[in-house]
Amino acid sequence: MKTIKTDIPGVLLIEPKVFGDDRGWFVETWQQERYAEHGMPGSFVQDNQAFSQRGVLRGLHLQHPHGQGKLVQVISGEVFDVAVDVRRGSPYFGRWVGANLSGENKHQFYVPEGFAHGYCVLSEEALFSYKCTDNYHPETQFSIRWNDPDLGIEWPLTENPILSDKDRDAPYLRDLPEDMLPPYLDK
């Protein structure tokens, strides 16, 4: 497996080894010791899947408290996936990184705790899968506006994305009370 560091420390793009022949292919998508060697936590407690159509944009979501690190991948289709640093006091606060994930490239993206996460579907349909470091706590989850001009995310599909009401009406990052955001813990 190849791990690529992004412009924000802790956010990683993972290119797993794919073993293929005329019968098909095999890829290891999680192995605790190997992934820990590359900087990912050793403990995931929940797996999720989401199915969406072209133009769906989900996010930007996070939980605080009960932050979730996420190891995300696309089983079929293609998405543009984004991680935004929203840790108050972080030298990277408000910066984002993105990656194209697809069933074809089999790349994974690790989004640490303290980051808002979102993605938009580029293919006709996409099956999205992710592992989480903490359970879902709906009472602590909230959204940040997907098109916040202060963040300047360069979404590939920005005309009339299909949004949930919660995501459409989400506040801008600057309008959130500071105590809603997770603290930056320099490690």
Positions marked catalytic: 61, 130
Beta partners for residue 50, in sequence order: 128
Contact 44, 132 (CB under 8 A): yes
Helix (H) or strand (E) holding 21: strand 18-21
Distance CA 51, CA 182 (A): 29
Q: Which amino acid is at 110?
A: Y
At residue 116, the 3 state secondary structure works out as strand
